[in-house]
Amino acid sequence: MITTRITFVLKAGGLVSWQLNELKDLNRHFRSVVVLFNITRDNKAMLNHTLQVLSLGSNPGDVCQIAIEGLDAELACMVMTEYLREHTLLISTSHKQNAKAELAFATHSAFQLPFSLQWHYATLGPVVSKSEALDTIAKQIMPTHCHDILHALEKREAISPTIIGHGIALPHIIHARIAQPTLAVHWLANPLSWSEKSGDVSLIITLLLPTSAPRTVIKPVTQLTRWLLEEEHRQWLLTAKREETLKAILLHVMAKPCDPIQNE
């Protein structure tokens, strides 16, 4: 079954009933199932259940995602993308790259962190072992100190494998060679066995932090690692096939208040 996704930020007024009705009317032309996720509030509802969607709540700045599953999901995605482009701040869509996403990451409060973050994104070619994958990642992230970074990553893995389930590994270290917090996302061309007792990994999210990182860094990073413990959250990442989708989710999880409902 084909699955497509559209990621967007709500503008002033949030997502109101007349917009939901128009989206429902659009959806009636297709045979796909559509689910609305409010990533900020960590809840979801079927799009054709208006009261459920309204009960999710929505504020300006909420990051949301529409997931479309069905035989005509690609066509439905194209049609709904054009509607959402008009009424929301569009971040990403499955069928087309959004060149304006980087501007949103740099300027919109939904993605603003209290520190400067280095971002890396790539697909690794065929690798035969975890060590080879970590070696390639270390060379891409910090080519001048790759041996030190690789040694630290392998030392961390020796304590306990950093696979967190559902096909995702989360290597993470604090190291003197790291001058700036770094988040790297790497897809694997082929699933890789991470350890003898764990399953295969297809997505590696690497976190590198400098020594003596302040609370303004530790708190958002901890918020992300806790968020990744939920299986559904990991599934969101595994089905995000565009860089801007993954970047939007990961940045927003770190940037958002811990409990947005209490902050209303």
Q: In percent, how much of the chain has pLDDT > 70?
A: 97
> Are 77 and 2 a contacting pair, CB within 8 Å?
no
In this predicted structure, what is the pLDDT of residue 261?
40
Q: In percent, how much of the chain has pLDDT > 90?
A: 78
DSSP E strands, 58-126: 63-69, 89-93, 118-124
Lowest mean pLDDT among 47-51, 226-230, 252-256: 47-51
**What mean pLDDT comes out for the span 156-177?**
94
Q: Dump pLDDT digits (tens) for 194-253.
A: 987 778 999 999 999 999 999 999 999 999 999 999 999 999 999 888 999 999 999 999
Pairing label, strands 3-9, 63-69: antiparallel
Q: What is the DSSP letter of 163?
A: E
Residue 227: how many other CB atoms lie within 10 Å: 18
**What mean pLDDT comes out for the span 33-60?**
89
- Domain ranges for the chain, please list them: 3-111, 118-255
Architecture, CATH, for domain 3-111: 2-Layer Sandwich (3.30)
Contacts of 185 (CB under 8 A, 6+ apart): 120, 121, 122, 203, 204, 205, 206, 243, 246, 247, 250
Structure tokens at 127: 């690798």
Q: Dump pLDDT digits (tens) for 64-84.
A: 999 999 999 999 999 999 999
In this predicted structure, what is the pLDDT of residue 42?
93
User: At 264, is the pLDDT very low, low, confident or very high (cuts 50, 70, 90)?
Assistant: very low
In the predicted model, is pLDDT for residue 263 greater than 70?
no
Residue 39: how many other CB atoms lie within 10 Å: 22
Contacts of 114 (CB under 8 A, 6+ apart): 216, 217, 220
Long-range contacts for 141-149 (Cβ within 8 Å, ≥24 apart)? 141/182, 141/184, 141/206, 141/208, 142/177, 142/178, 142/182, 142/208, 145/177, 148/175, 148/177, 149/173, 149/175, 149/177, 149/178, 149/208
**What mean pLDDT comes out for the span 118-122?**
97
Distance, in Å, from the CA atom of 30 to the CA atom of 234, rounded to the nearest integer, reads 28
SS3 (DSSP) at 176: coil
CATH no., domain 118-255: 3.40.930.10
> Are 207 and 176 a contacting pair, CB within 8 Å?
no
Q: pTM of the predicted model, to two decimals?
A: 0.93
